[in-house]
Amino acid sequence: MAAAVLVGGALIGTVATSGAAQAATTGPCDIYASGGTPCVAAHSTTRALYGSYNGPLYQVIRSSDNTTRDIGLLSAGGYANAATQDSFCAGTTCLISVIYDQSGRGNNLTRGPAGGYVPTPDNLANATAAPTTVGGHEAYGVYIAPGTGYRDDSTSGIATGDQPEGIYAVVDGTHYNNGCCFDYGNAETTNNDDGNGTMEALYFGNASYWSTGSGTGPWIMADMENGLFSGTNVGSNSDPTINNRYTTAIIKGTANQWAIRGGNAQSGGLSTFFSGARPTGYNPMHKEGAILLGIGGDNSNGGAGTFYEGVMTSGYPSDATENAVQANITAAGYTTSSGGTATGAVHAVGAGKCLDVTGVSTTPGTQVQIWGCNGQANQTWTHTTSNQFTVTIGGTTLCLDAYNNQTTAGTKVETWSCTGGANQQWTLNSNGTITGVQSGLCLDVSGASTADGAAVELWTCNGQNNQQWTLS
């Protein structure tokens, strides 16, 4: 789509667990194949989508030396071996350079090239910006900030013309914006707007330029080029707002018929939000068969979202098949925390940097800041069962502290000797914020700065991305 921003991240506690969920013996693509609509593209950075798959999930490139490393699985049919990424990327920044196609067709996603709307290549996603837990294991999603995008213009097996297909994705329902367009699916091979019906992609967000659903969004809609559609007609339709932390989103289409389905990727089944005829001017379709993620068909790259897994099928899947896939997704065990005490870096989502004790200081009263992530002790925090954040530097353990028990916006956040007071207790919220128990205010990067050394303070919660944090 042509381009016409609330960014969220979830708080992650990653800890070692015993009796972690075992890898599924059947993946979503095995289920689709049994239903007669096999996967022709299967992308995930968190787990295998076939029970027998044992290849790489994605590739990262590190900024320190431009070396790449494939990130594979803990076992065949299992979960991502995120420890490989953690080790390879320690002390530097890594970007996701390739998302491999598990279907065997070679439909791999790489950096989106220049297009008709944005005439320069897209950015690559920060490899650590979307930590998650799946099946009790640490993993990372694909964090799409505006300007980020992936594409494959030379594909195999993807629907063209009016051929039927199905698309699903698991996304972060709290990370979205109204920019165009956080898409996953079928697009033009030319990287230009080639007219009505030349796309059929799943869109997630609250853009309201063409159509909307009910409420304020976000909505699952279809990008069919020159329009995001929530029903047969342009405009407002009954397609509901859906914003589960982990959301299953589905679009499927065949001759003069298409549907929107969705549900909570952690529990429950799917609902059908729309099923009916194509919009006027979109029958027949003229799909071209490229695949994109995070961008529109003409490289409009103003969208935002987080992608964990998704597939494209040959053929129009039945509701029963999709229901079985949903059951597989919920059984996979996506969660923002594996419970208990969590230790790791606290990532400032909006800046792509880490919560840092200034100057590696052990002096109580040192204001905390953000700084490029380096894995050092002054960036390693433990969120305890008593809701404290502690940091240990050179044998000295300090607590994250709201200065002088103050509860007003602009209060300095510092390190201090641990007292157990309410001004040293912090709540990790499912919407990605960290709030002070005493004040109810949000941990905030001052002025929404992205610069090294930007101060961290308390501020009224406002839903902006400088108040979004992840712990991994």
**What's the pLDDT tens digit per position in 27-76?**
999 999 999 999 999 999 999 999 999 999 999 999 999 999 999 999 99
Beta-bridge partners for 368: 357
**What is the rounded average pLDDT of the residues 202-225?**
96
> Where in the chain do CATH 2.60.120.200 domains reside?
28-335
* pLDDT of res. 337: 56
Which has the minimum average pLDDT: 2-6, 93-97, 433-437?
2-6
Arithmetic mean of pLDDT over the chain:
90
**Which one of 86, 162, 194, 298 is the catalytic residue?**
298
**What is the rounded average pLDDT of the residues 292-311?**
97
Higher pLDDT, 174 or 151: 151
> Would the pLDDT of 397 be above 70?
yes
Q: Among 74, 196, 50, 56, which residue's Cα sits nearest to residue 134? A: 74
What is the distance between the alpha carbons of residues 68 and 96, in angstroms, rounded to a whole number? 9
* pLDDT of res. 343: 79
pLDDT band at residue 430 using 50, 70 and 90 as cut-offs: low
* pLDDT of res. 3: 39
Q: Hey, which CATH number is domain 342-471, 2.80.10.50, 3.30.70.20, 3.40.720.10, 3.30.930.10? A: 2.80.10.50
**Which one of 86, 101, 122, 225 is the catalytic residue?**
225
CATH number of 28-335: 2.60.120.200
Are 250 and 275 spatial neighbours (Cβ–Cβ below 8 Å)? Answer: no
Whether 298 is a known active-site residue: answer yes
Whether 200 is a known active-site residue: answer no
> Where in the chain do CATH 2.80.10.50 domains reside?
342-471
Report percent pLDDT > 70 for the chain. 93
Is the overall model pTM greater than 0.85, yes or no?
no
pLDDT band at residue 463 using 50, 70 and 90 as cut-offs: confident
Question: 352: exposed, middle or buried (C-beta count within 10 Å: 0-12, 13-18, 19+)?
Answer: middle
* pLDDT of res. 24: 44
Write out pLDDT tens, residues 315-354.
Answer: 999 999 999 999 999 999 998 754 446 678 898 988 889 9
